[in-house]
Every structure is written in structure tokens, then in C-alpha cells.
Amino acid sequence: MARKMGVFSILAFALYGLFFYWYLFHLSSSSLPFEYQGTSADPVTFMNGRELMLTEEYSKTRNLLFFLSSPWEWLFYILILLTGLNSCFKRWAEEATKRKIFRLPIYLFWLSFVGYLAALPLSYISYSLSKTYNISTQTFPSWMKDELIDFWLNYGLLLIIVPVLYFLLKKSPKRWWVFAWLLSVPFTLFMMFLQPVIIDPLYNDFYPLKNKELEAKILDLASKAHIPAKHVYEVNMAEKTNAMNAYVTGIGSNSRIVLWDTTLNKLTDDQILFIMAHEMGHYVEKHLYFGIAGYLLLSLLGLYLVHTLMQQVLAKWGREVKIPAASDYRSLPLILLLLSMLMFFSSPFSNVVSRYQEARADTYALNMTKNPGAGIGSFQQLTKAGLSQVNPPFLVKMFRYGHPTMLERISMLDEYEVKHRKD
């Protein structure tokens, strides 16, 4: 039975991959509707022929890798459960030490390490792709360093979360998901507080904005929006990427306005101010706090569904996957599998909310700066730097885009500019 389930899972993954290859490379189209051709949103007006060709090639391959990555993770967990490797991890932990307190950390290390090795090929292909198309400028040693930081951070989080999770599973098999969610609320807020000052600096160097004249303009904009910002930070990203970004991170006293140095190097001051006004729009409209509330509500539903689905899976296939009870920590791959699947299939709904908030922030930036030309220029430069499709296929937009498409964003600015030109 386990062998049949494993073969079926591999075939399902292969068919899924073939479907998305056919969809992205043959069925879907990123061409613009007739009414947008020749406008500021048309990439023909701001990209040359080679850039247009590279954008299509890069975007299609990158999107295919995205759609393969989550099912690849699911396949890994399924095979771990069906092949007996999961039980091997537990046996190795038991053989390594007589002290029970150390067995779970050893099991987690083996599960994390093998999972890291399984994910490494797709991660390397993605890195190599971005290098080939001159998106990434990162050296291989630097990339490996970031990968190892990811591994140890994830392992450290598991060491904190998993022992508490299995303590709750043993003490309250029917209500563990409620208590786990209650504990996740302060933990999530604490991690968001630490992110800018502890976690982010592990990957990149952050320092106050060197251009003090530009910083004064940004802080003046923040003052008009009643944002209590005292400093703007830039981050050294040019040694890793040619893409651009700006964002607001953290909560409370640790909140920061951050600009990538690539953004500073490639955009004019007016374009940067438009982008910063967009980020300030998120602050003014409290999108961060709505996002936290939405995430916590979804996590409550997700934990309940994990509890329900895990009981059903173990009742039907517990013997095949060698998990006698949910409280046995060999059930962890099953929990991670269910969480990953729920996150993937819920992403279109969370992306709808995110796109609405991003559109609101664009409108806020437009009303604040009254400079649609700067917004159009910045979005065109972002498109060129990231080799992004202006009008991505439907499924790509649904599953990948937390922002409106560039077609939608630039067209909104175009309409504003035309309307006020007439006025």
C-alpha cells in the first residue's frame, strides 16, 4: 500500500509539473489588451527588444519554479512518511543519546537537514537562473552563506516551537490547536519586533541613509503623514542583486523605513519619494495591523484544519506511515505537509487582500505627491530591473502577486495624469 501511495504521489507531481509547463509556455499569454498598447504600461515603450525577450524567458521559467516548489516540498514529506526514513530519524535520535530531552532536537536536525538537501536543487536552479539573466549579482559563497543562515534559523525556530507543540498534543489531544494558536500570538508579535534588529542584519548590512538631503525630504514626507520616523535606512543589496525594493518593517519602536541601495542608484529623488509615500500609505491606513490580525485569524483556522485532517489521515493511513498517534513526534512531517498545502491553496485569497491594500497605498502616494509621472517612471524601472511581466497570466497573478500587476498600477497613474491634464 505504501509503495502504491508513493508511486501515485510521484506521478501526480509529474503530471502537475507538465500541466504548469504547458500552461506557462504554451497556453497563457502576457500580451496586452489592444486598448493598452502604446501606453505607458506597454513594455514596448520603455524596454528594448532584447529586454522584452529576456523578460518573457525569465518570467516563465521563474514562475514554473514557483509552482513546482511547494508540491516538491509536499512530495518530500510524503516520501519521508512512506519510505520509513521518518522512523529512521527517530531511531537515530534514540541511539544517539539515552536522555529523552535530547532526542527531539536530534530528530529535528535530521529532518531539517534532509529537507534542506531536498530543497537545495530547486534553490540552486533559481539562483543560477537569476545569475544567468543578470538579476542576481551574488557570488556562490555568499549565496551558500545565506542558505546556511536560513537552515540554522529555521532549525532554531523548530527547536522553540516543536517541543511546545508536542507538549500540548500530549496534554490536550483535542484542544491543542487552540492553545498553540494562543501562544502563537505573542510569539508572532515578538518575532516581528526582532526582525529588523536581529534577523535582517544576519543577511545584509543596514546603515542610516547616506544622502542626507534625500533623507530630509523623506522625513518631511513622513511628518506630513504624521509618521514618527526619525531615520531612514539603506541596505547594501547591490552585491547581491540588480532588482530594487523599499519597505517598512518591524513594529513599535523597532519599525524602520528601508531602501535598497539599488533603488537609490537607479531612481530619481522624485521616484523614490513616490515609492516612500506608497510605503507610508500602508502605515497611515494601518495595513500592517490589519495584516497581522488577518494572519492570526487564518492561522487559527489553519491549525484547526491541521488537527481535523491529521486525525482523518492517521485513522485511515496511520499504519502505512508508521505514526501510532498524533502526539508521536514522527507526525511532524505530516503537520508540516498539511500546513504547507493549506498555505499554498489559501494564497489566492490572501493575495486578493494584499493587492487591495497595495492599490490603496498607490492611491495614497498619488494623492500625497501629486506626481503620477514619478510613479510611472518608478514602476517602469522596477519592471526593467526585475524582468517582470507587465501583464502576467491569470494563475500567476492569483498565486504569486501580492501587488496589482504593473499594467494595473501604471494604467491607474496614466488615467490620473490624463484626467488632471484636462482639468
Catalytic residue among 200, 215, 362, 408: 362
Rounded CA separation 372/247 (Å): 20
Strand order in the sheet with 206-208: 206-208, 232-235, 256-260, 246-249
DSSP 200-258: GGGTS-EEE-S-HHHHHHHHHHHHHTT-----EEEE--TTTBS---EEEE-SGGG-EEE
CA–CA distances in Å: residue 156 to residues 97, 159, 334: 20, 5, 20
Helix or strand (DSSP H, E) at 260: strand 256-260
Say whether 278 counts as a known binding-site residue.
yes
279 is catalytic: yes
User: Please, are residues 114 and 145 in contact by the beta-carbon 8 Å criterion?
Assistant: no
CA torsion 16-119-195-245 (nearest 10°) is -60
Rounded CA separation 375/363 (Å): 10
Say whether 287 counts as a known binding-site residue.
no
Query: What's the distance, CA 293 to chain centroid?
Result: 18
Say whether 51 counts as a known binding-site residue.
no
User: Please, are residues 140 and 63 in contact by the beta-carbon 8 Å criterion?
Assistant: no
Catalytic residue among 279, 328, 414, 417: 279
Query: What's the distance, CA 163 to chain centroid?
Result: 26
Rounded CA separation 351/256 (Å): 24
408 is catalytic: no
Rounded CA separation 332/111 (Å): 9
Q: Which residue has 511581466 as its cell numbers?
A: 389
Annotated binding site: 278, 282, 358
User: What amino acid positions are annotated as catalytic residues?
Assistant: 279, 362
Q: Which residues are annotated as a binding site for Zn(2+)?
A: 278, 282, 358
